[in-house]
Amino acid sequence: MSGQRMSIRRRILFLLLGVGVLSFLALGYVSLRSMYGIQRNAVERGEEMGASVAAYVEDYATTKTTRQLMMLADKKAKQVETEMGAALENAQSLAENIEHILENPGLYAPRYISSPLGKKIAKGEAYFVFSPKAAGERISPEISREIELIANISDELEVLSEIYDGYEVSCYVGSERGYLIEADAVSAEEAYQRIFTEEFLFEFDPRERPWYIAAKEAGKPILTDVYVGNDGHVEITCAAPFYKDDKFSGAVGIDLHLDALSRLLSDRTLGKKNISFGLNENGVVLFSTEQEGVLAVLAGQNDLRKAPEESLAREAARMVAGEMDIAPVTMDGEEYYIAFAPMPKIGWSYGMMIRKEDALQGAWGARSAILEQSAGFADAMHSFFRDNLLQIAVLLMVILFLMYRASEKATAHFVEPILALTEGVRNIAKGNLDTKLDVRTGDELENLAGAVNTMTDELKTYMENIAKAAAEKKRIATELNLARGIQEGMLPGIFPKFADNPHYDLYATMEAAKEVGGDFFDFYMMDEDRLAITVADVSGKGIPAAMFMVISKTVLKNTALSTGSGEDFGLAMVRTNLQLCEDNEEMMFVTIFFGVLNLRTGEFAYVNGGHNPPLVGRARGGAADWQYVRDENKTHMVGVIEDAAYEEKRLTLAPGDMLYLYTDGVTEAMDAVKHLYTEERLQQTLNRVGTPDVPVKDVLAAIRADIDAHAGGAEQSDDITMLGIRFLG
């Protein structure tokens, strides 16, 4: 009979054609997905590379520009300091030379110089002014001889005015007798317009000028504050006193116009909007390339540290403090980089500013070009993928048509027995286990039908057994859920009784590793001033641990509440240990940390029964310093050794200090490769999140989140219990 019918082996050969079609489709699908993945990955990598290169170019340009700005600021600061130092030295040299002239008059012949009232004064020519106001309407012979003697300093004044020509300076000598000898580095026309005014020629008295008074009071070479000179310009003076017979006789001065100093120090190396300015020790702008705004020179009246732009005021304070740095600031709604360097010898600081837009203009252009190239590459990849997809789709349709025609005839020869077998199996799958398959092909299909009939009978018996097992499992699950609910109900709730307490902030959590666990926490009032807290960990897991937990919690609380106000809590732990040791045939034990906080004084009395050391966070302003509270002597677990001794310890909490208690489920939490969370990481996390301004509940939540991050999805291996309390005073 088997020789007259086709064997299943040959039928499978035909079925392979169908499998081949499916395989081809699957292969085509995988190939297309792979091509799409390659195209997408290439585009993404191209975009990432473009963005990365663009960011690098921008960072490089920013770094280069800011570094150059810092170098320029330091160079200019040294230049200003050198110029001011040289001016001070020149003023001191003039004063010393005048003292030599006064002390040795016989060495010098009389020198006659002109007055602007008598002749036209040339640029850089020395002259003297003795106004009627200062002279009292006449010049005595004695003063005339002194002027002719001091006039021997004229050559030096004229040389200095030529040296400082670019600064539009005036070099002069003022006497206690009221006259002035001066040389100006300005043209005659400018001098008669700006300097030789009626007020200057007829009322000027050097003894009343700020530079003269400052030098006289200081008794040494000085840099004056910014002031408005008699020519109407904002200026600063390098002044030095001179003496005769140890008696003050006058002062010399070298004026520096700050607007001229600003022009000489201006720099356009890094852009058109560069700003240069200087500050003195009072935060006042001494010179600036800006003519208006907060950086303009306003005759020494404005402290830049009080500028309305907070970032600019902050960096001005750093400049006054003598720091050297570069930082971003905002001024008039625009972003700038500011570089500043100190001038310690004269107590000033030099600053340079450049707009961020100018600094990054070149980088932004390069970034745009790179991103444009990256976008072009992405378009090319998309086009390539579309062309290949179209070609594959055409080829796939042709092959599918040919395979369909070939397999259509082959499947017609053996599809009916398979359909009958399929229909019977479908009925069985619907739950009709009394269905019997009747396939008589004389080949493997007939054997398969017989095997299905046998399987149906066995499945019917198996399902009956499964139903019984499911009912039993449901009963056990119900009992475990009930036990978990009972256990959670025994733990105290923080709200509402312990919420919004003015003396402390308290929160606690317990998460069991199984349906029920052995960890527990407790807190309750001993009296109106004392709050008791407990965190404990029972050995083992599951129902036995939960039962021993209930016993331990009850015994400890009853023993603690029966302890007198002056009695040592170490004795309470001893009594608890004795009760738990009685009839403890299973040799279970518990580690306990028990403490009582005095809400009036902040004193915390505690006993450690073999438990993990807690941590205390001491408030330090807006931060906290977290340290472990470790006992010098090893402590015993509770419920093991009947004659174990327990010692009460004490510490004092200040307002804002916080205690953190926990079980070993915290520090021994493991990731997928069994790495522990560790005490060190717990301490680091508390130092980061346990600041005085964070509520205790949020601190515990942050620690739990860090534990989860460490575990990385690994199954919880132990109960995790935490309790935190912050003393508020």
- Which of 4-8, 92-96, 241-245, 569-573 comes out lowest in average pLDDT? 4-8
Span 258-306, pLDDT tens digits: 766 666 566 555 555 678 888 888 888 888 888 888 888 874 567 889 9
When pLDDT is averaged across residues 650-672 and rounded to a whole number, the result is 96
- Retrieve residue 213's tokens: 């008074």
Look at residue 660 in the predicted model and tell me its pLDDT: 98
- Per-residue pLDDT band at 363 (split at 50, 70, 90): low
- Which of 169-178, 470-479, 609-618, 699-708 comes out lowest in average pLDDT? 470-479
Look at residue 496 in the predicted model and tell me its pLDDT: 43
Look at residue 429 in the predicted model and tell me its pLDDT: 74
Q: Which range in 427-436, 487-496, 684-693 is most confidently predicted, on average pLDDT?
A: 684-693
Look at residue 436 in the predicted model and tell me its pLDDT: 74
Tell me the pairing of strands 234-244 and 623-628: unpaired
Look at residue 609 in the predicted model and tell me its pLDDT: 95
Q: Hey, how many other C-beta atoms are within 10 angstroms of the C-beta on 258?
A: 22
Closest CA to 83 of 208, 223, 188: 223
The distance between the two most distant Cα atoms of the chain, rounded to a whole number of Å, is 160
3-state DSSP assignment of residue 593: strand
- Retrieve residue 465's tokens: 């057994």
Span 141-156, pLDDT tens digits: 888 899 999 999 999 9
Tell the residue number behind the tokens 């705004």, with chain if given.
293
Span 496-513, pLDDT tens digits: 455 567 899 999 999 987
Look at residue 83 in the predicted model and tell me its pLDDT: 81
More confident residue, 718 or 227: 718
> Please, are residues 565 and 529 in contact by the beta-carbon 8 Å criterion?
no
Please report which helix (H) or strand (E) contains residue 257, including its range: strand 247-257
Look at residue 66 in the predicted model and tell me its pLDDT: 79
Closest CA to 98 of 140, 151, 143: 151
- Per-residue pLDDT band at 461 (split at 50, 70, 90): confident
Look at residue 268 in the predicted model and tell me its pLDDT: 54
Name residues whose C-beta falls within 8 Å of residue 60's C-beta, 6 or more positions apart in sequence.
363
User: Is pLDDT of 669 > 80?
Assistant: yes
Look at residue 567 in the predicted model and tell me its pLDDT: 82
When pLDDT is averaged across residues 387-395 and rounded to a whole number, the result is 73
Start-end of H helices in 526-660: 542-561, 569-581
- How far, in Å, CA of 53 to CA of 61, rounded? 12
Q: Which range in 62-71, 653-662, 716-725 is most confidently predicted, on average pLDDT?
A: 653-662
User: Is pLDDT of 24 > 50?
Assistant: yes
Ordered DSSP codes for 276-300: EEEE-TTSBEEEES-SSSTTS--TT
Look at residue 1 in the predicted model and tell me its pLDDT: 44
Q: Would you mind telling me the total number of residues written for the chain in this entry?
A: 729
Mean pLDDT of the chain: 82
- How far, in Å, CA of 558 to CA of 594, rounded? 13
**Interhelix angle for 569-581 vs 542-561, to 10°?**
140
Look at residue 2 in the predicted model and tell me its pLDDT: 45
List, in sequence order, every beta strand (DSSP E) within 332-381: 334-343, 348-355
- How far, in Å, CA of 620 to CA of 141, rounded? 76
More confident residue, 327 or 53: 327
> Please, are residues 1 and 442 in contact by the beta-carbon 8 Å criterion?
yes
- Retrieve residue 675's tokens: 């790495």
Ordered DSSP codes for 599-634: TTT-EEEEEEEBPPP-EEEEEETTEEEEEE---SSP
**What are phi and psi for residue 555, nearest 5 degrees?**
-65, -45
- How far, in Å, CA of 533 to CA of 701, rounded? 19
C-alpha distance from residue 159 to each of 69, 75, 124, 165 (Å): 35, 27, 8, 10
User: Is pLDDT of 324 > 70?
Assistant: yes
More confident residue, 340 or 485: 340
User: Is pLDDT of 674 > 90?
Assistant: yes
Percent of the chain with pLDDT over 90: 40
Domains located in the chain, CATH noted = 86-257 (3.30.450.20), 416-475 (1.10.8), 491-727 (3.60.40.10)
User: Is pLDDT of 218 > 90?
Assistant: yes
User: Is pLDDT of 668 > 70?
Assistant: yes
Look at residue 97 in the predicted model and tell me its pLDDT: 95
Look at residue 73 in the predicted model and tell me its pLDDT: 84
- How far, in Å, CA of 223 to CA of 83, rounded? 12
Span 48-57, pLDDT tens digits: 776 776 677 6
Look at residue 164 in the predicted model and tell me its pLDDT: 73
| Helix, strand, coil shares, percent, the chain, to 5 | 50, 20, 30
Span 627-638, pLDDT tens digits: 999 988 888 999
Computed from CA positions of residues 192, 168, 99, 209, in that sequence, does the dihedral angle turn out positive or negative? positive
> Please, are residues 707 and 666 in contact by the beta-carbon 8 Å criterion?
yes
User: Is pLDDT of 213 > 80?
Assistant: yes
Percent of the chain with pLDDT over 70: 80
